[in-house]
Structure 1
Amino acid sequence: MSRGIDGITEDDIAQYLSLNPAFFERHAELLAEVRLASPHGTRAISLQERQALLLRERIKGLEGRLMEMIRHGQENTAIADRLHRWTRAVMLARDPRTLPALLVEELKSQFLVPQAALRLWGVDAALAHEPFVLAEPGAVREFADALALPLCGLNTGEVEAAQWLHDGTPALSIACIPLRSEQAGGSFGLLMLGSPDATRFESDMGVDFLVRIGDIAAAALSQLLPR
């Protein structure tokens, strides 16, 4: 800390100016006389010019944050609209036998998911031979029961259910969403999402939205369970 005349420090001057905001009103000529280095070059600029530059930079930063907030708001609105359309389509389904396929196709369409599939178990006996029913869930059921939340990440081949996504294009990243119901006493299905893009479903991505997808899907599909 540098000291000036009679031991006055820079902090003393700064404190004096902060406590006497009218100082520069009484000495307005100083604003034009004080010269500072420009942050954008070697030339000297007045204190007023420096303040104007700082304000412009601050305004530019605020404008950037505002545009980012608007963009996020628009994205959230678009997602909410897609979720609404998907939920509505699922709720309007009348045939339990076609509901799983409709749910999956609408999910792919509304959210632009390249690959999706689901399997159920423990369903009503009248549906036991439908293609979406897994007669012997075994390890798949154990896997779904162990998921406290949806699981996302690279498809390393360790998740057996990833095979459901095979459509001629490898799924490089996957999301595993357990379907649960109090009526079933636990998991009664697994919804799988996949993409040939390895970064679509990353292991560190938020899963709140996938939880909602799973809750809605499970609520709709629970009508296929025994009464």
Structure 2
Amino acid sequence: MIPTEHPITEDDIANFLANTPDFFERHAELLSSVQLSSGHGNRAVSLQERQAGMLREKIKGLETRVVDMIRHGQDNVGIADKLQRWTCKLLQTAQARDLPAAAAEGIVTEFQIPQAAIKVWGVNGIFSGERFASGISSDVQTFAASLSAPYCGVNSGFEAVNWLAEPALALSVALIPLRASAGAPVVGLLVLASPEPERFHSDMGTDFLARLGELAGAALSRLRPQPTA
């Protein structure tokens, strides 16, 4: 037998089969005679069985992804419902001085956050004696103004944590600057806390918390001096 100048390679065979889709129609007996590893142990199976097994695995993976998408969608709807109820509660709060407590209590109730506290500065003089407007150091205000996004992580002795009813139980915290709108000056700070060390962590997304801060900041703008006509 005269050797060929260019021996046939596996790539040549693969290209031939890819470009000759009717090959197995003309040689159907090969489908049952070719034996391959099953992929599960040493048992040999036909090419057809192997393809069916691979297809089943692919379908199983797609089913898992669909279930995950449905679950995430349901979770997102649940969060949107909670946010709407919380926002409605703020809109229905008649007295401006009741807004900080309503915002904090609503977050604890709707989002199952163990502790929450709010302080606001630069308020109208008639609110200066309220608890939410007192006990705020210049260091806290400077720190809040420096936050371009909410801080999430361990409680490393933040002064604002002392606003909570039980600061000793705040092992992880979220510190959210309050603005009346995106890009507006910081007018307050929202503190969320949990006894679980990983409830708030540095790798978690902060987009939702930032929106929460904007909504709270917009609602609390009623406490600030109103421009005269």
Into which bin does the TM-score normalised by the smaller protein fall?
over 0.9
SS state at 1:132 partner: helix
CA deviations on 1:53-79 (whole Å, 9 max, x unpaired) are: 000011111111111111111111110
SS state at 2:97 partner: coil
Q: Which residue of the partner structure matches residue 41 of structure 1?
A: 41
- 2:125 pairs with 1:125: yes
Q: Where do residues 73-222 of structure 1 align in structure 2 (5 Å cutoff)?
A: 73-134=73-134, 136-157=136-157, 159-167=158-166, 170-181=169-180, 186-222=185-221
Contact 1:128/1:135, CA 8 A, preserved across alignment = no
The runs of at least 4 aligned residues of structure 1 exceeding 6 Å deviation read 3-6
CA deviations on 1:112-152 (whole Å, 9 max, x unpaired) are: 00000011111011111111112553101001110111111
- TM-score (structure 1 length as normaliser): 0.93
* Number of matched pairs: 222
**For the aligned residues, what is the CA RMSD?**
1.8
SS state at 1:55 partner: helix
- Distance in structure 2 (CA, Å) of the matches to 1:43 and 1:177: 59
- Distance in structure 2 (CA, Å) of the matches to 1:211 and 1:180: 9
Distance 1:115 1:77, change over 3 A: same
Contact 1:82/1:111, CA 8 A, preserved across alignment = yes
Q: Where do residues 57-72 of structure 1 align in structure 2 (5 Å cutoff)?
A: 57-72=57-72
Q: Which residue of the partner structure matches residue 223 of structure 2?
A: 224
Contact 2:119/2:136, CA 8 A, preserved across alignment = no
Deviation at 1:14, TM superposition (A): 0.6
Residue 225 of structure 1 aligns with an amino acid whose one-letter code is R
- Distance in structure 2 (CA, Å) of the matches to 1:68 and 1:180: 35
Contact 1:121/1:137, CA 8 A, preserved across alignment = no
SS state at 1:97 partner: helix
Identity in percent: 52
SS state at 1:21 partner: coil
Deviation at 1:6, TM superposition (A): 6.6
Residue 156 of structure 1 aligns with an amino acid whose one-letter code is S
Residue 72 of structure 1 aligns with an amino acid whose one-letter code is H
Deviation at 1:188, TM superposition (A): 1.6
Distance 1:140 1:168, change over 3 A: closer
Deviation at 1:181, TM superposition (A): 3.6
Distance 1:78 1:136, change over 3 A: closer
- Distance in structure 2 (CA, Å) of the matches to 1:170 and 1:53: 52
- Distance in structure 2 (CA, Å) of the matches to 1:23 and 1:66: 36
- Distance in structure 2 (CA, Å) of the matches to 1:17 and 1:39: 22
Distance 1:135 1:125, change over 3 A: farther
Farther off after superposition, 119-128 or 167-176: 167-176
- Distance in structure 1 (CA, Å) of the matches to 2:7 and 2:148: 66
- Distance in structure 1 (CA, Å) of the matches to 2:225 and 2:43: 81
In structure 2, list runs of 5 or more residues that go unmatched: none
